[in-house]
Amino acid sequence: MGVPAMSRARRPPPPPAPRLASRWRAQVDDYATDADASPAGAAVGAASGRLVVFDPESGAVRWAREAHAGGVLALAWRPGGALLASAGQDGKARLWGADGEPLAELAGAAAWVERLAWSPDGAHLAIASGKEVLLARANGAAVARLGPHPSAVTGLAWNRRGERVAASHYGGVTIWTARTGKPVRSLSWKGSMISLAWSPDGQIVACGEQDASVHFWRLASGEDSRMAGYAAKVKSLAWDAQSSRLATAGEREVIVWDFRGAGPEGSQPLQLVGHRDLVGAVAFAPRGLRLASGAADGSVAVWDLAELESPIVGVGAHDGAITRLAWTASGELLGTDAGGGVALWAAGPAG
């Protein structure tokens, strides 16, 4: 099943938008590779291998560590806790306590560890390294090795109940059960998947593809569709909390597909105009329909999809291409850029 390519009609330039208020700005020592926010801090990893945790209120450094020789590739706070996982170019994943004390080290299956994903209940951590996924408990104890997959694992995502984990790779997606470490489903497609997002209701698995398209599978029926016509590879996908909309990068516009009713098949997506270069990062707020986007020109935008006549809430700017966006529990936005810039933005315009 397919979806027509997106319309290429010329669109007018965006109207002037209000400016987002910056709570604070900071800097890490190299390209900011990943970031995540929790009440325990705003964590940022750098290509230098340094891991820095900032105070979310003031932006002051709470702690910093030389975490991974060769560079930090991924990091993630444990849900509901102050435990931070990091992964890097040294083939290791590490767990850090609230004050930066090293708690555990896990060896990957290849020379690098590229992906991390905590289960929603925080009971398990999935670690992608090469063609394998390591499942570990929160104390660092290994549970199972999943794989090998047909190629390097490019994305990880848990279902809402934390009982199954999906891994994307060349040829599709494999879904595993955490309890037994066995594969329970294979979603096949002859293409290279480079990003992965599982809808919060557990019904749809979506992937960005190497060929600048998006592929998704409806798990109940087994039907799949492909949404083509992007200008670049779709490296970032985000679902809203109600599983009604899928936001995607890969264009100068933010492309949002509507999964309500019959879904996106046969329809054109919502195209949010506000960036002047390719969008590389998208992230929905934990609640509601606020969507953040970041582009290669350093621009950051916040949109309210409940107000489609004038959806843009505000825009901000970094000095380099946006590398990561992450929402805080209080509704503020953490952004990082290729020059090592870090900023915490308010969810609304500057007053």
Tens digits of per-residue pLDDT, 233-290?
A: 999 999 999 999 999 999 999 999 999 988 898 789 999 999 999 999 999 999 999 9
CA–CA distance, 254 with 307 (Å, rounded to integer): 15
Average pLDDT of span 25-47: 97
* First-to-last C-alpha distance (Å) of the chain: 48
Q: What is the pLDDT of residues 38-82, one digit of tens each?
A: 999 999 999 999 999 999 999 999 999 999 999 999 999 999 889
What's the token pair of residue 135?
Answer: 């499942």
**Residue 297: pLDDT above 80?**
yes
Residue whose C-alpha is closest to residue 57's, from 78, 26, 28: 26
What is the pLDDT at residue 13? 55
**Residue 10: pLDDT above 50?**
no
**Residue 151: pLDDT above 90?**
yes
Residue whose C-alpha is closest to residue 211's, from 193, 197, 198: 193
Residue 159 CA to its chain's centroid (Å): 15
**Residue 9: pLDDT above 60?**
no
What is the pLDDT at residue 1? 46
Per the prediction, the chain carries an average pLDDT of 94
Beta carbons of 249 and 243 less than 8 angstroms apart: no
CA–CA distance, 44 with 41 (Å, rounded to integer): 10
Phi, psi of 4 (to 5 degrees): -60, 150
Q: What is the CA radius of gyration of the chain?
A: 19
Average pLDDT of span 297-302: 97
Classify residue 122 by its DSSP letter: S
Q: What is the pLDDT of residues 152-193, one digit of tens each?
A: 999 999 999 999 999 999 999 999 999 999 999 999 999 999
Beta carbons of 37 and 328 less than 8 angstroms apart: yes
| Sheet containing 279-284, strands listed edge to edge, beginning at the edge strand earlier in sequence | 279-284, 290-295, 299-304, 312-317
What is the pLDDT at residue 15? 60
CA–CA distance, 334 with 55 (Å, rounded to integer): 12
Beta carbons of 62 and 49 less than 8 angstroms apart: no
**Residue 12: pLDDT above 80?**
no
Residues with Cβ within 8 Å of residue 57, at least 6 apart in sequence: none
220 vs 8, more confident:
220
What is the pLDDT at residue 5? 62
What is the pLDDT at residue 351? 61
**Residue 14: pLDDT above 80?**
no
What is the pLDDT at residue 81? 80
Place of tokens 């997606």: 173
Place of tokens 């933005």: 345
Classify residue 40 by its DSSP letter: T
- Burial class of residue 160 (count of CB atoms within 10 Å of its CB; 0-12, 13-18, 19+): middle
